A = this chain, B = another copy of it.
């Protein structure tokens, strides 16, 4: 498949600078692109590679266009246009609908005629799979789990009983949606399990990464809003509510009953405590720890950055004296003020 730059520009709302009849067949990076490729420049760190690219065309912003010696597609948001061009040049593979002979589908489940259930997958009673949805190999859909239209469960995904997944969701291998939340009540030195009776509701256009876990609610449901994107290895506790279009990078953990606003961006390895509220449009930097509510939009962080181990050891040992240091500093200040006033008096 190849497409002219003119067609791409028209469909994706950008301008061609140069020969619009040039055809491109694939996407590539600036450094690896050849004469059949279209590439893009979005991260300024890669601007240095622009002059020497052998690509047929580059998608970039008008401010970078002067550096570009090839045909250019000028766009306000080059990365977005790249995403769309790449999707156009690499359409998702189609599939033949049906149920694999090696799947185990309960007679009481409903699988849409245009859906697919792969080998090794298990679909329990009352589960529903919507039109055009693809259930890859070795997935488990518990009793009454609902998958909307045009979803893609890649492989080895578990939806526990009653979990509801909206249209056009993508869920990657190893993800577990709707396992019991961590609800335990103390009984002397023992712990008693608190039944986890809620479920998980996932909005439309959500993507959930590999080995990510989203727990079912204790009484009410855990909610993942429409358009939310979750990376790999994330843990979402019971009764968490994540607002629409929030994106969360890998290895983040969010404890139970916490609400995260809309359009938040949470960087990798961040930990968020339970029973708190994060406002809309909050940005959390990598490896932050948040244990109290954040009532206002803004950028927040808490991690210390790496240092040479000897320096780090000295500084972190001093951290344990920080309160003492602060008190000493205050005492010193007082004594200095006393001396200063003493000197002034003396001067009088």
A contact residues vs B (CB 8 Å cutoff): 27-29, 32, 43, 45, 77, 79-80, 82-84, 86-87, 90, 100, 102, 104, 118-122, 124, 136-138, 140, 142, 154-156, 158, 160, 170, 172-174, 176, 179-180, 182-187, 189-195, 197, 205, 207, 209-211, 213, 215, 219-220, 227, 229, 231-233, 235, 237, 245, 247, 249-251, 253, 255, 262-263, 268-269, 271, 273, 275, 283-292, 294, 298-309, 311-323, 325-326, 328-329, 332-333, 335-336, 339-340, 342-343
Q: Give the complex CA separation of A20 and B250 in angstroms.
A: 51
Show 29 residue pairs from A and B whose CB-CB distance is below 8 angstroms, ordered by the A residue.
A79-B185, A80-B185, A80-B187, A83-B183, A83-B185, A86-B197, A102-B104, A120-B138, A137-B140, A138-B156, A138-B158, A140-B173, A154-B179, A170-B180, A172-B180, A182-B231, A184-B247, A232-B235, A235-B251, A285-B309, A290-B305, A292-B306, A301-B316, A302-B303, A302-B307, A318-B322, A318-B323, A318-B326, A321-B326
Q: Are B245 and A255 in contact (CB under 8 A)?
A: no
Q: Are A301 and B313 in contact (CB under 8 A)?
A: yes
From residue A182, how far is it (CB to closest CB) to chain B in Å?
A: 4
Quick one: closest B residue to A212, CB to CB? B211
Q: Are B332 and A336 in contact (CB under 8 A)?
A: yes
Quick one: closest B residue to A121, CB to CB? B120
Residues of B within 8 Å of A313, CB to CB, are 301
From residue A90, how far is it (CB to closest CB) to chain B in Å?
A: 5
Residues of B within 8 Å of A186, CB to CB, are 77, 79-80
Q: Are A311 and B320 in contact (CB under 8 A)?
A: yes
* This protein's copies in its complex: 3
Q: A304: which of B182, B285, B316 is its contact (CB, 8 Å)?
A: B316
Residues of B within 8 Å of A287, CB to CB, are 271, 289
Quick one: closest B residue to A187, CB to CB? B80
Known: A137-B104, A286-B271, A299-B308. A87 touches B189 (CB 8 A): no
Quick one: closest B residue to A184, CB to CB? B229
